């Protein structure tokens, strides 16, 4: 969400009873979880939308059920603050969250050599969930989100490399020049995105073809997103993530695309990317609109390029804001 002249705000005003004594801490934690910022006189503010109104309603119910008083107001302006000042407060609060995340991720990365694989997987899962929770309440694009995403991507890449071991060294795109990349017919999100990744970052001259999983592939051809092939699903990774790891692609915008592809392809909510619903609909629409697999794949790659450009532009905007501080 970007700041605009039409920005509206929700304001929570509350009064808490003396007991229970832990109510104040519970309410404070809940308000932090939903991303509210506190102004003078204990006024809590959120940008107004359906989700934030629901969040404040939950907080109000908890306060009232514990004997307190709470009201939610909507306003086009907050007395004593410009929209710009409010937006900066939201960004500063989320940057604090991102800073703590990066610090904790660095501590985790240094300590991972002393932990077993199960503990590493649990720790990495908690980091993913924590970053997803922060980004959900990052209403105005805090500048340090990219740093947090890079920190997590580095740990994931290292973890994936450790799981592969010495049997799977980093590959070079130049070794795949002139190859035809073969996949299954009727491409979906993982095949669309993987073909885009190959064409964009690995082998710009790549051609694409389709074959059944048991069909002959032939020379100068490489299979992807098929059962049992090198460039396919491995462990918890979809094909797109496998390609990223094997070719050491560390672009933050590509990492954001990977999170969308992962959740859609594996039907998970690990990353809780808000773009998933729209991209999923678009994939369904493309598959319904194009009977020809080659045209379907090409249209899907255009869609993924647009998604990538949106993430890249978002990252560039954060860099400019950080530089202009």
Kindly state whether residues 215 and 272 are assigned to the same domain: yes
Please check whether residue 2 lies inside any domain of the structure: no
Residue 141 CA to residue 317 CA, distance in Å, equals 9
Residues 163 and 187 in one domain: no
- The pLDDT of residue 125 is 84
Could you tell me the residue range of the domain that residue 156 belongs to?
A: 84-167
pLDDT of residue 2: 43
Does residue 55 sit in the same domain as residue 109? no
Per-residue model confidence as pLDDT tens digits over 99-141? 999 999 999 888 876 667 777 778 888 898 888 889 889 999 8
| 122 and 103 fall within a common domain | yes
Residue 214 has pLDDT above 60, yes or no: no
Separation CA 98–CA 152 (nearest Å)? 11
As a whole-number percent, the residues of the chain with pLDDT over 90 amount to 58
Confidence of residue 296 (pLDDT cuts 50, 70, 90): very high
Cβ pair 259, 266 in contact under 8 A: no
pLDDT of residue 314: 80
125 in a domain, yes or no? yes
Using the predicted structure, report yes or no on whether residue 289 has a pLDDT greater than 70.
Answer: yes
Average pLDDT score over residue span 28-37:
92
Closest by alpha carbon to 12, among 50, 61, 84?
Answer: 61
Look up the CATH number of the domain holding residue 20. 3.30.70.240
Separate counts of helices (H) and strands (E) for the chain: 10, 7
- pLDDT-derived band at 324, boundaries 50, 70, 90: low
Q: Residues 58-71: what's their mean pLDDT?
A: 92
E strand or H helix at 180: strand 180-183
pLDDT at 153: 81
Please tell me whether residues 75 and 92 are part of one structural domain: no
Q: What pLDDT, on the 0 to 100 scale, is given for residue 161?
A: 54
Rounded Cα distance, 143 and 314, in Å: 9
pLDDT of 285 strictly over 90? yes
212 and 290 co-located in one domain: yes
Asked whether residue 74 is assigned to any structural domain, the reply reads yes
Whether the per-residue pLDDT at 247 is higher than 90: the answer is yes
Contact present, 241 and 258 (Cβ < 8 Å):
yes
Q: What is the mean pLDDT of the chain?
A: 87
- Cα 286 from Cα 186, distance rounded (Å): 10
Do 75 and 89 fall within a single domain?
A: no
Burial 66-99 (b: 16+ CB within 10 A, else e): eebebebeeeeebeebebeebbbbbbebbbebbe
Same domain, 162 and 273: no
The answer to the question of residue 233 being in a domain is: yes
d(CA 275, CA 149): 16
Tell which residue, 181, 182, 192, 149, has the closest CA to residue 280. Answer: 192
Reference 270, options 158, 94, 121, 163; nearest CA is 121
* pLDDT class of 183 with cuts at 50, 70, 90: very high
Q: How, if at all, do strands 44-47 and 9-15 pair?
A: antiparallel
How many separate domains does the chain show? 3
Question: Poorest-confidence range of 37-46, 166-175, 284-293, 297-306?
Answer: 166-175
pLDDT at residue 216 greater than cutoff 80: no
Q: Do 228 and 279 belong together in one domain?
A: yes
Does pLDDT of 28 surpass 70?
yes
Domain match, 93 and 74 both:
no
Q: Residue 295 above 50 pLDDT?
A: yes
Task: Tell whether the model's pLDDT for residue 299 goes beyond 90.
Answer: yes
Instruction: Indicate if the pLDDT at residue 193 is higher than 50.
Output: yes
63 touches 111 (CB < 8 A): no
Residue located via tokens 């678009």: 282
Whole-structure pTM value: 0.54
Of the two residues 135 and 40, the one the predictor is more confident about is 135
DSSP codes of every residue in 33-82 = HTT-EE-GGG-EEEE-SHHHHHHHHHHHHHHHHTT-EEEEEEES-BTTB-
The Cα–Cα gap between 257 and 81 comes to 36
Alpha carbons 119 and 125: distance in angstroms, whole number: 10
- Of 40, 49, 41, 36, which Cα lies nearest the Cα of 8? 49
């Amino acid at each position: 969400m970007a700041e605009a002249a039409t920005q509206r705000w929700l304001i929570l005003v509350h009064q808490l009873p003396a007991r229970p004594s832990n109510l104040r801490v519970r309410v404070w934690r809940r308000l932090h979880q939903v991303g509210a910022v506190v102004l003078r006189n204990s006024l809590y503010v959120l940008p107004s939308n359906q989700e934030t109104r629901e969040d404040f309603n939950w907080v109000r119910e908890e306060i009232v059920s514990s004997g307190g008083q709470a009201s939610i107001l909507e306003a086009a302006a907050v007395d004593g603050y410009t929209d710009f000042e409010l937006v900066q407060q939201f960004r500063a609060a989320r940057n604090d969250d991102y800073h703590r995340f990066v610090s904790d991720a660095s501590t985790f990365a240094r300590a991972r050599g002393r932990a077993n694989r199960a503990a590493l997987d649990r720790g990495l899962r908690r980091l993913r969930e924590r970053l997803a929770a922060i980004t959900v309440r990052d209403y105005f694009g805090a500048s340090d989100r990219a740093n947090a995403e890079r920190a997590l991507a580095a740990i994931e890449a290292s973890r994936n490399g450790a799981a592969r071991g010495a049997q799977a060294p980093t590959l070079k795109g130049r070794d795949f020049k002139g190859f035809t990349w073969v996949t299954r017919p009727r491409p979906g999100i993982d095949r669309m995105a993987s073909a885009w990744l190959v064409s964009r970052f690995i082998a710009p001259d790549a051609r694409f073809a389709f074959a059944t999983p048991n069909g002959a592939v032939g020379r100068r051809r490489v299979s992807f997103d098929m059962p049992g092939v090198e460039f396919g699903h491995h462990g918890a990774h979809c094909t797109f993530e496998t390609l990223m790891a094997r070719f050491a692609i560390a672009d933050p915008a590509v990492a954001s695309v990977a999170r969308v592809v992962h959740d859609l392809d594996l039907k998970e909510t690990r990353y809780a990317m808000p773009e998933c619903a729209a991209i999923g609909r678009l994939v369904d629409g493309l598959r319904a609109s194009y009977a020809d697999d080659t045209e379907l794949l090409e249209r899907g790659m255009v869609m993924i390029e647009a998604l990538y450009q949106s993430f890249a532009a978002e990252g560039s905007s954060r860099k400019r804001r950080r530089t202009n501080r």
